Structure 1
Amino acid sequence: MDFAFDARTEELRARLLAFMDEYVYPAEQVAHEQRARLASPWQDPPVVEELKAEARRQGLWNLFLPDAEYGAGLTNLQYAPLAEITGRSPQLAPTATNCAAPDTGNMEVLAQFGDERQKKQWLQPLLAGEIRSAFAMTEPEVASSDATNITTHIERASDGTDEYVITGRKWYISGAMHPDCQIFIVMGKTDPDGPDIRRQQSMVLVPRDTPGVTVERAMQVFGYEDHYHGGHAEVVFDHARVPVSNLIGEEGGGFAIAQARLGPGRIHHCMRLIGMAERAIELMCRRAVSRTAFGKALAQQGVVQNWIADARVQVEQLRLLVLKTAWLMDTVGNKGAHTEIQAIKIATPRTVVGILDRAIQLHGAGGVSQDFPLAELYAGARTLMLADGPDEVHQRSLARRELKKYL
């Protein structure tokens, strides 16, 4: 395993770091001030469109997509250090470079499983950053950590029309509050009584303006509405009808598509989390050398030194594990890297939450305020212990794989 960055990665890293310094970090406060003056809190501040235009101009666009026909054609190992950099400003940088979830996962699904009509109608405008999208899987009435529990029905119309009728309730549907969100990828059951519980589900494309689709409310995350990610909504599908041609892949293929979507999504989250941890360490160090308590700088306090040292060790460990996982995904595929994908999904959010918690502690009251990004970063990192499968599900699966060697 050789994790040295190749020439293309080094060149993109240099450009992206310069883009962050020159445009993204200065835009953070500007975006905050602009958002306060918007007619709708779900609109992007004008500075976001300026960032997107500059990122496109510099070729820092769709970096996440390994398919060279549609994206930058980077491997997971090449993309990892770039996603880490954007994770330092998760509110702005992923959106500015068109590398923000859930659009990234949805574009990957359409690129891999969509037909030519679906790609033309939905993938192309998503790649261009002209529209946004949402992925509707989680439901409030069932334990959605087990995707086979999903109860939303996708049924063939009984009136002879070549349509599906969709009925169900979803929540925490990321991106659904954004005014540019025009399409949902909805996971539901087309064969609820089928003998194979992993072949009961399918995925269909449902335009947001479809009659019977109602975005009922925005869901908060630790009190945040997460405007920068287009919010998280509760959505009702009340006999919403779409053409059968809106099916992605085949009937019964929804579970497999979800797994294909979530593998890259999990490692992308972990890559960005490392960037969040690096931002926290930087803020800790700046705070420690600028504040005095009990007669000496915080940087001279042993407990603070321990926090900073531990954080550095933890980040280096996580980075190596994430890079190994990216390398395996590139060389043996997502299935071959299954153990490592689960390992980083367990370790990274948990560890970064701890680093952010200590950074907040070091900042005192400022740490929980809006004057520093730490509280919002903490909320985002803590949420990732639930998103894309809760830690306990991954631990269960990982433990079973380990125990199988001895049975």
Structure 2
Amino acid sequence: MSEDLGGRIDTRIPVRSMWVQNTFTNEAYFHSNVAVSIAIFEPEAARSGTDPEILRHFSRSLHLVNERLSGRHALENSTLIAIIGLSQFERVQDNYEEALVHVQGLNRLALLRGGIAGFRDHPALMQKLFRQVPSNTTDLEIALYFGTATTFRAEDLPSQSLTLWLRDLYKKDRQNYYKSQKIALGLDDSLQAIFLDIMSLAAFVSGRTPCPTKLQIYPFHDMIIFLGFRLFEIRPLDQAELATTYESLMHLALIGFLTTFLRGLAGRASNFKAATSSLRKAILEAPIEGSHFQKLVLWSALIGRHVLFNQDDECWLLPRLAAVGYAMNLDGWCGVEEALMDFPWIPSIHNKTAKRLWNISKEGCFERERSVEKIPWE
């Protein structure tokens, strides 16, 4: 995705990164990384669960971690890093139940060291252990899969400063948007604040405003996780009001938008079961009589297809788009794109999928009979 990020994100992993260094100095972390690498490049073998090389490296990593946990090294940094490696492997395998066990274990070890707040006096250590790098967004991904609250909280993450920087960078745009648009005004204060933060994020990545500054990949992903945690603190997915309110659909669609930046290793689509099911149901059940709802459903549907839905979902998504397009009296793509600019949208990332879907819905090339088939909620 790096070529689609508008030149605003430096996607290079620093050579001095602690994750790179620990690959060569932390044996348990090394073996889990090897297992992850094999799983990425040999996915069929990984899915079978019997690949001898994967089993050998993962078993070795697990053995070393258990040794450390049973001895005097249990609370050392290297042990926590090794557990992050185990969690990363389980997440790559879509074993979210096992990944959750490791995240909860990390939380318990952190509590034994005084809790996450205790790391604030050691910012470098806090960043090393709890920074959610691109391949280790496990806590948020578990919440997206199960629909439950995150184990850690937004306040635990060292990401506020970057969000404040973006707010200042787009201060005038945010004020103008707030005054001229009615869309955000129906949201409660906390969701409206996140909505405007994500709008600023999308504007930055899209390169709509000249800015000489590039963001490093780690701080950028810090901010994505920070925004995701804030959304889950408003309401976990298993407590979502799914269908009828503007605010509930906006909440789910903003979560969907953030998954744009949570691709799996090697760019693979991630399996976020609860997020997918919730957004699918909300889009189908949302009313489309009002113009604001029509725009929101249009954006939610196009974002959902890019990040969470698959080709099988088009049997219901295409008729829904056709109905919304008719209600909004939209013909060409230009009208669609104009409506999408009221929401977080990154043309270089989202336009290709959205244009294809929109064109098919307008041409009526889909089988309308399929739209009445049973929708796979789960």
What TM bracket, shorter-length normalisation? under 0.3
| Structure number having the greater strand percentage | 1
